[in-house]
Amino acid sequence: MSRNYDVVIVGGGPSGIFAALELSQAKGLSVLLLERGVDIERRRCPLLHGSEVSCLSCSPCHLVCGLGGAGAFSDGKLTISSEVGGRIKDYVGEKRAQEVISYVDQVYLKLGAPQELYGVGEEVEEWQRKAKFCELRLTPVPIRHVGTENGRKLVKLTRDYLSSRIDLQLETKATSVITEGGEAKGVETDKGERIGSRFLILAPGREGSDWLRQEARRLGLSMDINPIDLGVRVEVPAAIMESLTSALYEPKLEFYSRRFDDRIRTFCVCPHGEVILESTGGEDPVVTVNGHSYANHDTQNTNFALLVSTTFTYPFREPIAYGKYVAHLANLLGGVLVQRLGDLENGRRSTLERISRSSLAPSLAHAVPGDLSFALPFRHLQGIMEMIYALDKLVPGVASPHTLLYGVEVKFYSSRLKLDGDFQTEVRNMFAVGDGAGVSRGLIQASASGVVAARKIIQEIGASK
């Protein structure tokens, strides 16, 4: 081995960073954090802030890869709950999950997250009651909104803190895990280096989920298939959803389609935000759609995703490949497509002329007017349409003919490894955490999973805090 550490962390997203923060509190530990992408200041997407260029499909994409992970360029929602944003309570139990989530929340507050909490109070209970009459399930959760621009500031603060306490190695990809006798021994990198470690934390994020799946297969680890989340991003005038988003900021709404009984949910609601492009998918990238909302900059629109969660059964074992296939179809038709709801209902593609005379101006100028029915499966579109009509009963105006649908939006989650209550894999001293491991689906639970793994390592090493 060219170098040796007590702990090597693969991935510089929230789970990897919070693992590093926790490990840095212990005395005498040597820690290395490896990150495939660039430092936070160098993460610049040409599509942001009104640039006229189209997606360059940068590899890796600066929006989803680099120090801070995809969370650094998200709109920075901190969901203070074990019910939404992941499944860590399934591993550590409800009581311990809440304790770690509260701890992580306090760290974010110290870093500068806002004190204001959405999703609490009597007004939220009234929205929950109204949702039931619309065949919707509303799960109220406490949420802090950091904002896209402030998320990067938090990453800089953590980097500056960690830089004198651990080793940070950026623009370096871990290509394979080194094991011996069923125990983690380190990693190999794309620089041809073999780095030894007593403990290994794999936190590759969504962008690295495919790599983690391949490594798990190579090592013969047990895996369960995660559902694939596939759908569209909906954009409406912000005024239509103002009363709902002012109370909850991000309403977590679920619906089960009448025709297929599929679960459809809202995801990443961005009040007064903008729709963006991102290139995702690792070595086989696709251009998909996402949303941002800023703390100090408002648009006239609100956007949110509607995702259909599909669980596949044996013998199908390639949900990531399936999601990429659907995204590739949209890319083949022009990139990210945008279609008016009225045009979709009438079985026709949208055109620039029709969109230009609509009452709603798209916030994503790079989207190509088209027909989403050529890319999304009928089953998914049917469920999405049913949920839009249900939402329109709760918030009149959502089902306007001028409502814009962007596609496709895909959330890739790794096949879930068999993990114990500290996120340790079947390989001794190797842990898997965060979104890429299928453990979390958001900033708070990703961060919390990194803390749990780090605490176990500290306990195992016997280091004093």
Q: Are residues 332 and 450 part of one domain?
A: no
Looking at the structure, do residues 174 and 268 belong to the same domain, yes or no?
no
Same domain as 215, residue 323: no
Average the pLDDT over 79-94 and give the result: 94
422 located within any domain: yes
Closest by Cα among 41, 40, 44, 33 to 67: 40
Confidence of residue 46 (pLDDT cuts 50, 70, 90): low
Burial of 462 (0-12, 13-18, 19+ CB in 10 A): exposed
Judgement on whether residues 398 and 271 belong to the same structural domain of the protein? yes
Same domain, 172 and 305: no
Least confident of 3-17, 46-60, 148-162: 46-60
Q: What is the mean pLDDT of the chain?
A: 91
pTM of the shown model: 0.89
Residue 128 in any domain: the answer is no
Q: Are residues 293 and 365 in the same domain?
A: yes
What φ, ψ does residue 159 adopt, rounded to 5°?
-60, -45
C-alpha gyration radius of the chain:
22
Q: Is the C-alpha dihedral spanning 221, 227, 232, 235 positive or negative?
A: negative
Averaged pLDDT, 426-435: 96
Same domain, yes or no: 258 and 368: yes
SS3 assignment, position 267: strand
373 domain-assigned: yes
pLDDT for 35 beyond 90: yes
Task: CATH number of the domain at 423, please.
Answer: 3.50.50.60
Q: For 231-257, how does the pLDDT look when each residue is reduced to its tens digit (9 = 90+)?
A: 999 999 999 999 999 999 999 999 999
In a domain, 132, yes or no: no
- Per-residue 3-state assignment (H helix, E strand, C coil) for 403-426: CEEEEEEEECCCCEECCCCCCECC
- In this structure, the answer to whether residues 172 and 54 fall within a common structural domain is yes
| Structural domain harbouring 382 | 228-411
Instruction: Note whether residue 133 is domain-resident.
Output: no
pLDDT in tens, 365-416: 989 999 999 999 999 999 999 999 999 999 999 999 999 999 999 887 656 8
Distance CA 99, CA 386 (A): 38
* 376 and 418 housed in the same domain: no
> Does residue 163 lie within any of the structural domains?
yes
- Of the pLDDT bands very low, low, confident and very high (cuts 50, 70, 90), residue 59 is low
Q: For the stretch 40-65, what's the b/e string if a residue is b when 16 or more beta carbons lie within 10 angstroms of its beta carbon?
A: beebebebeeeeeeebeebebbbbbb
**Do 401 and 457 belong to one domain?**
no
Domain assignment of residue 333, yes or no = yes
Q: How far apart are CA 81 and CA 72, in angstroms?
A: 20
Specify the DSSP element, H or E, that contains 465: none
On whether both 374 and 442 belong to a single domain, the answer is no
Q: How far is CA 163 from CA 65, 155, 160, 197, 323, in A?
A: 19, 12, 5, 19, 37
Q: Per the structure, how many domains does the chain have?
A: 2
Residues in the chain: 465
CA dist 197 and 31 (Å) reads 9
**175, 232: one domain:** no
The Cα 253–Cα 230 span in angstroms is 16
